[in-house]
Amino acid sequence: MINSTIFMHPATWFLVGAFFMPVFKRMGLTKVILIAVPLIACLQIQWLPESFGHASYLGFDLVFGKVDQLTRVFLHVFTIMALIGCIYGLHVKETGQHIAAFLYVAGSLGVTLCGDYVTLFIFWELMAVASTFLIWYRKKNRSIQAGYRYLLVHITGGLILLAGIFLRYQNIHDLSFVRIAVEGASVADYLIMIGFMLNAAVPPIHAWLPDAYPEASVTGAVFMCAFTTKTAVYVLARAFPGFEALAILGAIMTLYGVGYAVVENDARRILAYHIVSQVGYMVCGVGIGTAMSINGACAHAYAHIIYKALLFMGAGAVLEMTGKSKLNELGGLYKRMPLAMIFTVIGGISISGFPLTSGFISKSMIIAAAGESHRNILMLMMTMASVGTFLSVGIKLPYFIWFGKDSGVQAKDAPWNMNLGMAIAAFMCIFMGIYPDYLYKMLPFPVHYHPYTAYHISETLQLMGFTGLGFFIMVKKLKPMPKMNLDIDWFYRKGARVFMWIASRPVNAANNWTNEVYRTVGFRFTLAFAKALSWFDWEGIDWVIDGSARGVVKAGDQLRTLMTGKIQHYIGAAIAITFIVLILVLLV
């Protein structure tokens, strides 16, 4: 039994692994480290004490480790996902990608374990910076631009979060990361919530996600789909359960993401919009704030991380082997990539909530919690989103990639490690669906929910059956078109262009005018001023210093003539001076 007083922060393994990754590469140990580090972290989280890593810095009490049942659920799935992602990326030769992935996971684990806002902010920003490199490492012009937009948006969100933290400390002089009461929430608390909501991709501050994730590297997208938004769900569940705004916005998210996914053409953009939709269930569950809804949010976050990663791995395998991700350019690949097809279909039915899959046991818990709380409109919105999910990811995505008209694109199954990563995720999707207690036992509150009721199974099969029938009736209308769908990011894309125009035209013109004035006026004045200083140095300072030195030397020469070396002369001079002083005293 490991002594709970002896610990190492799970993020430390990833930080050390990232730091020494170039050394490991030279030693030929990269693949070993990629497996060993997340595996050790998976084992270590089982024995973490309830509190550790206390420190004091600049008068702030920092808590790097605070563990309860809510923390353990997310730690468990984050470390498992890190292991699956590393297996999937074993073939990647670029050390920088592995370093960025390790730092990204470390940031997520640090946020999950933090007990104060200072620690949270440090790891929060580490996540933002590290994940940006997972976008840039695709090394295409579009990914470079998307990475810059992603970084700017997250820096903005970080500043909003920091402003809320500062104001909260000014108000209560406490930076502990604890639950915030709905009744006493201040402006500072709402600023913190907005900072969290940005990472959760809550509309209208969501567009960074479908903009950036499809442009990330193949392995980078797998990591990114798992950590940023789900870490945001964790901090919202920790600090803001029961906030009505989250319940409403979460329900809107479910439909918003599905609406865009149905009309999208790029496979990874479809999956990115479905992150918005699926995270909406979790945000809504947090906003409802009951024990069942929080359990549902945690369960769905756990299930979503696995099946969404599986879908991104399947789409990434297609992109890796064909160089294509647009549905109108694909089709008939089931003959050439059968393993990836099987795994992707499992991910598709899991996200759709098909019986005996993980989505069936998690998503329905949130919908049931909405019903128990008499939130019928929210329940209806989430049910409608489930139909759209099955339509777009359960049917449309696999149909136009694997079946449909044969595109003639040549491909073969992905490398063994990519298939192994997908196989592990696919197994977990089925395992959790068959044995839901595996997941339910980890949830923060006691679970009194049974997904496999006759009503739930019947309802699900009917919705899916009619959705499938509708798809095949309207398949020609749903055929993907090579076009770009505008989203909220249009505003900051245009805003960036206006900013660049201002910087390149008026500001640049003013800068050039200032330089010209300096060259014609300022430069000449500077030369004249320097010349005056030079004259003062030669004629003023040197005259005073040199003249004083010459005076001292002359006085010394004259004094030396008086120094005869004969004692009778000195005595006589002393007597004469004494008489002169006495006479002056008597006269006075």
| Domain map (residue ranges) of the chain | 1-235, 241-484
Q: Among 10-14, 313-317, 458-462, 553-557, where is mean pLDDT lowest? A: 553-557
pLDDT at 527: 65
- Provide the pLDDT for residue 568: 52
Query: Residue 106: its pLDDT value, please?
Result: 97
In percent, the amount of the chain with pLDDT more than 90 equals: 64
What's the mean pLDDT in 154-178?
A: 94
- pLDDT for residue 321 is more than 80: yes
In the chain, % of residues over pLDDT 70: 84
Residue by residue, DSSP assigns 49-76 as -SEEEEEEETTEEEEEEE--HHHHHHHH
Characterize the bridge pairing of strands 51-57 and 60-66.
antiparallel
Split at pLDDT 50, 70, 90, the class of 2 is very low
Neighbours of 218 (CB within 10 A): 25
This prediction's pTM? 0.84
| pLDDT for res 3 | 39
Beta bridge partner(s), residue 66: 51
CB 116 within 8 A of CB 173: no
Report how far residue 59's alpha carbon sits from residue 201's, in angstroms, rounded to the nearest whole number.
34
Q: Which residues lie closer than 8 Å to 197 by C-beta, 6 or more apart?
A: 205, 232, 236, 246, 249, 283
How many other CB atoms are found less than 10 A from the CB of residue 180? 21
pLDDT over 70 (residue 541): no
The pLDDT, as a whole number, for residue 468 is 86
Looking at the predicted structure, is the pLDDT value of residue 554 above 70?
no
pLDDT digits 0-9 by tens, 81-132: 999 999 999 999 999 999 999 999 999 999 999 999 999 999 999 999 999 9
Mean pLDDT of 271-281: 95
Of the two residues 565 and 317, the one the predictor is more confident about is 317
Q: Give the model confidence (pLDDT) of 453-484 as tens digits.
A: 999 899 899 988 988 888 888 777 778 777 77
N-term to C-term CA, the chain: 103
pLDDT at residue 227, rounded to an integer: 95
Reported as a pLDDT band with limits 50, 70 and 90, residue 551 is low
- C-alpha to C-alpha distance for 559 and 579, rounded to whole angstroms: 22
Tell me which of 336 and 588 has the higher pLDDT: 336
Q: How does residue 6 score in pLDDT terms, banded at 50, 70 and 90?
A: very low
Which pLDDT value is given to residue 281?
Answer: 96
Averaged pLDDT for residues 161-186:
93
Q: What pLDDT score does 404 carry? A: 78
The H or E element that residue 502 is part of is: helix 489-504
Q: Computed over its alpha carbons, how large is the radius of gyration of the chain?
A: 35
Distance CA 348, CA 162 (A): 38
The predicted pLDDT at position 471 comes to 82
Task: Give 440-452 pLDDT, tens digit per residue.
Answer: 999 999 988 999 9
pLDDT digits (tens, 9 = 90+) for 477-513: 778 777 777 777 777 777 666 766 676 677 777 777 7
Q: Does the pLDDT at position 36 exceed 80?
A: yes
Residue 588, helix vs strand vs coil: coil
Quick: pLDDT tens for 417-438.
999 999 999 999 999 999 999 9
